[in-house]
Amino acid sequence: MANSKWEYVKEFEQPDKLLPNTWIVVRIDGRGFTKFADKYGFEKPNDRRALDLMNAAAKAVVSELPDITIAYGISDEYSFVLHKSCHLFQRRSSKVVTTVVSTFTAYYIYLWSTFFPDAPLSPPLPSFDGRAVCYPTVQNLRDYMSWRQADCHINNLYNTVFWALIQRGGMDNKEAEKALAGTVSGDKHEILFSKFGINYNNEPEIYKKGSVIFRDYELVEPGSHQAAAEIDGLAEPTQQSKTQAEKDKKKRAKARIVVEHLDIIKDEFWDRRPWLLSNKPGKIPKEP
Amino acid sequence: MANSKWEYVKEFEQPDKLLPNTWIVVRIDGRGFTKFADKYGFEKPNDRRALDLMNAAAKAVVSELPDITIAYGISDEYSFVLHKSCHLFQRRSSKVVTTVVSTFTAYYIYLWSTFFPDAPLSPPLPSFDGRAVCYPTVQNLRDYMSWRQADCHINNLYNTVFWALIQRGGMDNKEAEKALAGTVSGDKHEILFSKFGINYNNEPEIYKKGSVIFRDYELVEPGSHQAAAEIDGLAEPTQQSKTQAEKDKKKRAKARIVVEHLDIIKDEFWDRRPWLLSNKPGKIPKEP
Amino acid sequence: MANSKWEYVKEFEQPDKLLPNTWIVVRIDGRGFTKFADKYGFEKPNDRRALDLMNAAAKAVVSELPDITIAYGISDEYSFVLHKSCHLFQRRSSKVVTTVVSTFTAYYIYLWSTFFPDAPLSPPLPSFDGRAVCYPTVQNLRDYMSWRQADCHINNLYNTVFWALIQRGGMDNKEAEKALAGTVSGDKHEILFSKFGINYNNEPEIYKKGSVIFRDYELVEPGSHQAAAEIDGLAEPTQQSKTQAEKDKKKRAKARIVVEHLDIIKDEFWDRRPWLLSNKPGKIPKEP
Amino acid sequence: MANSKWEYVKEFEQPDKLLPNTWIVVRIDGRGFTKFADKYGFEKPNDRRALDLMNAAAKAVVSELPDITIAYGISDEYSFVLHKSCHLFQRRSSKVVTTVVSTFTAYYIYLWSTFFPDAPLSPPLPSFDGRAVCYPTVQNLRDYMSWRQADCHINNLYNTVFWALIQRGGMDNKEAEKALAGTVSGDKHEILFSKFGINYNNEPEIYKKGSVIFRDYELVEPGSHQAAAEIDGLAEPTQQSKTQAEKDKKKRAKARIVVEHLDIIKDEFWDRRPWLLSNKPGKIPKEP
């Protein structure tokens, strides 16, 4: 029963290499999470336990795949960024995407009971889909990140008012929708404040800004490092010496992976953390 | 903070629709399972609990995704076949593949403790990668399935002798490898029998044949149904009436999903289960 | 000046292999041919010289690329079909498409003066774009061909009435458009007949049916040959012996390439010319 | 004969959009030009008429497709560069590539008799294939161009010596090959000079450097313009006002398209012609 006569079927596999020298963003999304959130009674507009679980799973992904330089999450979605010089799995799209999705899913299920000790999982289980997108320049990448964080802000402001109108204003869904139709950002702040005494600016940062995960090194003074433009200009990164690559790897392994809720739209975030775009590990901060 | 100025980044997403009217095979593989198997002390050459867990996870995938008509698994890999008429997720490759991988991973982690009650999981967790391949004809699809089952046979025969030489013959890895170098199938049977009194043919079917999962209906007499050639000939499936689609869906939901260890290379398996290729549910067998 | 430090740029080339075991259709279209037709005073609704030139160029393409089994042309478009077993250029899409487009263009320019002796070409020159599409089954392929021939019929009937209304009915473009708005096929026949005494059925076949190009062998009795379903069923064509391949090649080289104006929607066309789908050359007819 | 029942075949067409914000290089190559060159008695190692014809055809392509910012040709190949902000044909790969290939072929055939008045074309006609490759950064693009020009140099030096050994040294092909085996650049210069009195540096620039085609504006002082890094940094080009776009278009139309034989590896070429990378037309030089 030699299998050689069937091996021709391998020829039907199509290569799917992501264009070299571009930033790879793998975005994953919860499948059917509206229904899933209902099943487990997620709090509205934000369930802190659910977000913490997303962050814990994402942090594990970043930890297991050092090629990920930064990740950003809101609600039931997470974006993982691989550096443009990354050669993980020869940049095979399916392999990169499924590895991220599978690792994330594994930790989501595994850690569930830590965050929801009183609500054991039962089938159908939560799952995630994902895709990879290539961005040629730092500007494109940062615009992608800005787009997601702006979405976070817009959605959270809307949801905060919407659920206040329902939970504290006694409206039903339709009434709340109608009350918000055509309102702009300022109107929503106003409703929150005048009707419910809520100052939106005092809402928790995790809800307003989403969560950003990265390896932490000592912050640098803006302007003291390689400019984004230079990073774009890199063709293929010059082949590192093995010693240097080893050193970098060790530094990365030592770095603390942090989950923060910062503004990633403004330059400051990126300027003070040049390692995010340069892929050169920074200086490990001294233990406090 | 309108996000409209960043939305252009959506244009970088590339469509990845799988060619219509072709069979889609999603194959997933355990990542780094050699190491993982060592960590949890999987038995050699086959760990029955590990295979049962793979099968249980795969069965859950087939159950949650009714577009899957058949699945076949060996060792730490599983192939899921979607019918050529399937429109799941508009046949978007990333979406199809990541959904299968994520659902499988979720159940693998979730069910772990059922099959390994004494070996709780700890990070790094098991994960899976996957890819989708299109096959234009029934013959191509069956050749793919035959290729996997032939691989199962070849690997299992080799591993059975290899580990017998080590576990019962006192050899080390290198000696066993050397003893097997250049041997053909017959030689291996002979070694097993003469040295260890093992008749390979009596080994458990699950090890020799792998596992095949499908919805079970009443077997039919070969020759009484639509030929494979006719199925190939179908362009786009004629639009079913909604009533018929509803009926089929109900039948499928009622059908028992079974895990078997059968020869899927020979015609008989396919001839007696025409629903696997036609995608028309068969007759639900009466409860015994 | 070794070029090794720049050779990495080859890695950016993406593979574009067309799925094996599927029919490849390369369709080419004239670029900006409305304007081009005006410049050279093409007759309306059909310019016989222009169609003859298209056919002559297409015939040259079929002659130079024996992997093409059939071609079909209407107006300024042509579709070239490569057999599903074809391995031309390892099925690289760019290579296949550009070769067809370039060869067609070369002959179109080269033969121009034969068909338009009184209207020498001048820049900007006519050019063509093209794309490749894969069809998994004979039915899909035949539906594609039927789609193009139905389009030919619909367009030609419309154009024939439209230009009769203008050229013989004294209408301007807008009036003719208006007169035809909402008419069905029968209405158009009626207008032609009642207003202009034209029986559409007597119009030249080349205008009504388009042009089909293929290698000609002796017609067979329908039913006496390999069924389409069998052709679909072929996985990879069994490796021909070299002698057989040589014989086939010679037969193909000997076969006359014909340009006909036949119904390719009905079964008869295909049933009597089994070589079109089987890729096995037929019997060379005796010279008359 | 409504064609609606067949229109589903359009669904098999796969999108093939080239990644936005990347440089598109379309490279075309003569098909079977070794044989073709023999048929028409091209001179060795370089046939000036053949190169002039290539350049004339390429110049026509650049003229008809203003999205092309620069083109570079050697022997029977030509590379056409479309600016990273280009939206020609919505960046559909097939459409872009076939349009370039077809336009080039059309002019090659059309202009043949101008350059080879005594050798009329006869079938089989010359034709070209092509492919598109995306480069994310200016550095990648310039490395691609450098790679081609380095290839030009290496090949031309080899061919110059090779044919000198044959034409003037009385060797046959094998002897010349053997004589050159293992030689480095310096050796080849030495052979040319010592054996045949040829100073390679005095060979015509068109043979040593290849040909570069671009729209010509007034040269600028290096350093006075937008840096390459800035160009890389551009995400999507800011939407130009319509007036500005119109102005640019007119300027481009007025610009003279030149064929030069310059060093495109060094920075100077690019620094003094910032319009090549910025896509902003320069200053039209005053007529002399």
Q: A131 and B13: CB-CB below 8 Å?
A: yes
- CA D12/CA A198 separation, integer angstroms: 54
Nearest CA among A85, A235, A19, A226 for reference residue D142: A235
- Touching B (3+ Cβ pairs <8 A), the chains are A, C, D
Q: C11 and A19: CB-CB below 8 Å?
A: no
pLDDT tens-place string over residues B8-44: 999 999 999 999 999 999 999 999 999 999 999 999 9
Report whether C76 belongs to an annotated binding site.
Answer: yes
Q: Strand, coil or helix: what is B172?
A: coil
Specify the amino acid at residue A115.
Answer: F
Q: C232 and B134: CB-CB below 8 Å?
A: no
- Touching D (3+ Cβ pairs <8 A), the chains are A, B, C
Q: Could you tell me if D125 lies within 8 Å of chain A, comparing CB atoms?
A: no
Q: Tell me the pLDDT of chain B averaged across its residues.
A: 93
- CA A92/CA A132 separation, integer angstroms: 10
Give the pLDDT band (50/70/90) at residue A1. Answer: low
pLDDT tens-place string over residues A184-219: 999 999 999 999 999 999 999 999 999 999 999 999
- Shortest distance, CA D141 to any CA of chain A (angstroms): 9
Residues 60-99 of C with CB under 8 A from B: 84
Residue of A nearest to C10 (CA): A20
> Cβ contacts (< 8 Å) between D17 and chain B: which residues?
14-15
- Evaluated on CA atoms D156, D161, D166, D171, the torsion sign reads negative
- CA A103/CA A26 separation, integer angstroms: 13
- CA D96/CA C129 separation, integer angstroms: 8
Residue B60 dihedral angles phi and psi, to the nearest 5°: -65, -40
Residue of A nearest to C18 (CA): A14
- Shortest distance, CA B146 to any CA of chain D (angstroms): 28
Higher pLDDT, C170 or D228: C170
**pLDDT at residue C221 in the model:** 84
- CA D279/CA D237 separation, integer angstroms: 10
DSSP state, residue C283: P
- CA B146/CA B141 separation, integer angstroms: 9
Q: Could you tell me if C253 lies within 8 Å of chain B, comparing CB atoms?
A: no
C240 near C248, Cβ under 8 Å? yes
Q: D146 and C6: CB-CB below 8 Å?
A: yes
Burial class for D239, CB neighbours closer than 10 Å (0-12, 13-18, 19+): exposed
CB count within 10 Å of CB D140 equals 27
> Cβ contacts (< 8 Å) between B1 and chain A: which residues?
150, 153-154, 185, 265
Helix (H) or strand (E) holding C79: strand C77-82
Query: pLDDT over 90 for what percent of chain C?
Result: 85
Low-confidence ranges of chain D (pLDDT < 50): 237
Nearest CA among A8, D94, A12, B88 for reference residue C22: A12
- Shortest distance, CA D96 to any CA of chain B (angstroms): 17
> Cβ contacts (< 8 Å) between A5 and chain B: which residues?
143
> Cβ contacts (< 8 Å) between A228 and chain D: which residues?
233
pLDDT tens-place string over residues C100-121: 999 999 999 999 999 999 999 9
Q: For an interface test with A, which of B129, B185, B188 has the most A Cβ atoms less than 10 Å from its Cβ?
A: B129
In angstroms, the Cα distances linking B122 to A106, A109, B58, B113, B119 are 11, 12, 22, 12, 9
Residue of C nearest to B141 (CA): C235
CB count within 10 Å of CB B38 equals 9
If you average pLDDT over residues C213-230, what whole number do you get? 78
**pLDDT at residue D284 in the model:** 87
pLDDT tens-place string over residues A53-108: 999 999 999 999 999 999 999 999 999 999 999 999 999 999 999 999 999 999 99
Nearest CA among B162, B127, B150 for reference residue B46: B162
- CA D77/CA D58 separation, integer angstroms: 10
> Cβ contacts (< 8 Å) between C21 and chain A: which residues?
12
Q: C136 and B138: CB-CB below 8 Å?
A: no
- CA B75/CA B53 separation, integer angstroms: 11
Helix (H) or strand (E) holding C80: strand C77-82
- Shortest distance, CA C132 to any CA of chain B (angstroms): 13
If you average pLDDT over residues A152-178, what whole number do you get? 97
If you average pLDDT over residues A10-23, what whole number do you get? 97
Burial class for B223, CB neighbours closer than 10 Å (0-12, 13-18, 19+): exposed
CB count within 10 Å of CB B255 equals 19
Which of B14, B19, B21 is the closest to D17 by Cβ? B14
The separation between CA B25 and the C-alpha centre of its own chain, rounded to angstroms, equals 9
Q: C106 and D93: CB-CB below 8 Å?
A: no
Q: D137 and A230: CB-CB below 8 Å?
A: no
D1 near C208, Cβ under 8 Å? no
Give the pLDDT band (50/70/90) at residue A243. Answer: confident
Q: A228 and D227: CB-CB below 8 Å?
A: no
Q: A19 and D136: CB-CB below 8 Å?
A: yes
> Cβ contacts (< 8 Å) between D123 and chain C: which residues?
60, 107, 110
Cis peptide bond N-terminal to C45, omega within 30: yes
Q: Which residues of A are annotated as a binding site for GTP?
A: 75-76
Q: C93 and D97: CB-CB below 8 Å?
A: no
Q: Could you tell me if C236 lies within 8 Å of chain A, comparing CB atoms?
A: yes
ipTM of the complex: 0.95
> Cβ contacts (< 8 Å) between A22 and chain C: which residues?
none
- CA D179/CA B1 separation, integer angstroms: 71
Which residues neighbour D146 within 8 Å (Cβ) at sequence distance 6 or greater? C3, C6, D264, D265
Phi-psi sector, C90: left (phi>0), alpha (psi -120 to 50), beta? left
Q: B144 and A60: CB-CB below 8 Å?
A: no
Q: D136 and A21: CB-CB below 8 Å?
A: yes
Nearest CA among D1, D245, B155, A274 for reference residue C263: D1
Q: Could you tell me if C140 lies within 8 Å of chain D, comparing CB atoms?
A: yes
- CA A208/CA C102 separation, integer angstroms: 57
Nearest CA among B100, C90, C10 for reference residue D27: C10
If you average pLDDT over residues B195-220, what whole number do you get? 96
Q: D135 and C2: CB-CB below 8 Å?
A: no
Nearest CA among C126, C106, A89 for reference residue D129: C106
**pLDDT at residue B18 in the model:** 98
Long-range contacts of B167-174 (CB under 8 A, 24+ apart): B167/B44, B168/B195, B168/B196, B169/B195, B169/B196
pLDDT exceeds 90 at position A24: yes
Start-to-end CA span in chain A (Å): 65
pLDDT tens-place string over residues B150-184: 999 999 999 999 999 999 999 999 999 999 999 99
Report whether B146 belongs to an annotated binding site.
Answer: no
**pLDDT at residue D236 in the model:** 52
Q: Could you tell me if A22 lies within 8 Å of chain B, comparing CB atoms?
A: no
> Cβ contacts (< 8 Å) between D8 and chain B: which residues?
235-236
- Shortest distance, CA A227 to any CA of chain D (angstroms): 10
Q: Could you tell me if A15 lies within 8 Å of chain C, comparing CB atoms?
A: yes
In angstroms, the Cα distances linking A70 to A80, A283, C59 are 6, 17, 57
Q: Could you tell me if B154 lies within 8 Å of chain C, comparing CB atoms?
A: no
E strands in B17-164:
23-30, 68-74, 77-82, 128-135
pTM of the entire predicted model: 0.95
Report whether C151 belongs to an annotated binding site.
Answer: no
The 3 state secondary structure assigned to chain A is CCCHHHHHHHHHCCCCECCCCCEEEEEEEECCHHHHHHHCCCCCCCCHHHHHHHHHHHHHHHHHCCCEEEEEEECCEEEEEECCCCCHHHHEHHHHHHHHHHHHHHHHHHHHHHHCCCCCCCCCCCCEEEEEEEECCHHHHHHHHHHHHHHHHHHHHHHHHHHHHHHCCCCCHHHHHHHHCCCCHHHHHHHHHHHHCCCHHHCCHHHHHCEEEEEECCCCCCCCCCCHHHHHHCCCCCCCCHHHHHHHHHHHHHCEEEEECCCCCCHHHHHCCCHHHHCCCCCCCCCC
Q: For chain C, how many residues are written?
A: 288
Q: Could you tell me if A236 lies within 8 Å of chain C, comparing CB atoms?
A: yes
Higher pLDDT, A246 or B256: B256
pLDDT exceeds 60 at position B253: yes
Q: Tell me the pLDDT of chain A averaged across its residues.
A: 93
pLDDT exceeds 70 at position C71: yes
Which residues neighbour C264 within 8 Å (Cβ) at sequence distance 6 or greater? C72, C145, C146, C149, C209, C212, C270
Which of C11, C17, C21 is the closest to A14 by Cβ? C17
pLDDT tens-place string over residues B44-59: 999 999 999 999 999 9
Report whether D30 belongs to an annotated binding site.
Answer: yes
Higher pLDDT, B236 or B115: B115
pLDDT exceeds 70 at position A32: yes
Specify the amino acid at residue B205.
Answer: E
Q: A229 and D234: CB-CB below 8 Å?
A: no
> Cβ contacts (< 8 Å) between B24 and chain C: which residues?
none
Q: For an interface test with C, which of B17, B18, B19 has the most C Cβ atoms less than 10 Å from its Cβ?
A: B19
- CA C56/CA C211 separation, integer angstroms: 11
Q: B12 and A98: CB-CB below 8 Å?
A: no
Phi-psi sector, D192: left (phi>0), alpha (psi -120 to 50), beta? alpha
B255 near B284, Cβ under 8 Å? yes
> Cβ contacts (< 8 Å) between A138 and chain D: which residues?
233
Q: A84 and D136: CB-CB below 8 Å?
A: yes
If you average pLDDT over residues A120-134, what whole number do you get? 98
Residue C30 dihedral angles phi and psi, to the nearest 5°: -65, 140
Give the pLDDT band (50/70/90) at residue B233. Answer: low
In angstroms, the Cα distances linking B51 to B43, B47, B209, D37 are 11, 6, 12, 64
**pLDDT at residue C241 in the model:** 77
- CA D40/CA D118 separation, integer angstroms: 10
Burial class for C261, CB neighbours closer than 10 Å (0-12, 13-18, 19+): middle
Per DSSP, what are the bridge partners of residue B27?
A: B79, B131
pLDDT exceeds 70 at position A16: yes
Q: Strand, coil or helix: what is C259?
A: strand
**pLDDT at residue A227 in the model:** 61
Which of A2, A102, A134 is the closest to B101 by Cβ? A102
Which of B11, B12, B19 is the closest to D12 by Cβ? B19
Q: Could you tell me if A13 lies within 8 Å of chain B, comparing CB atoms?
A: yes
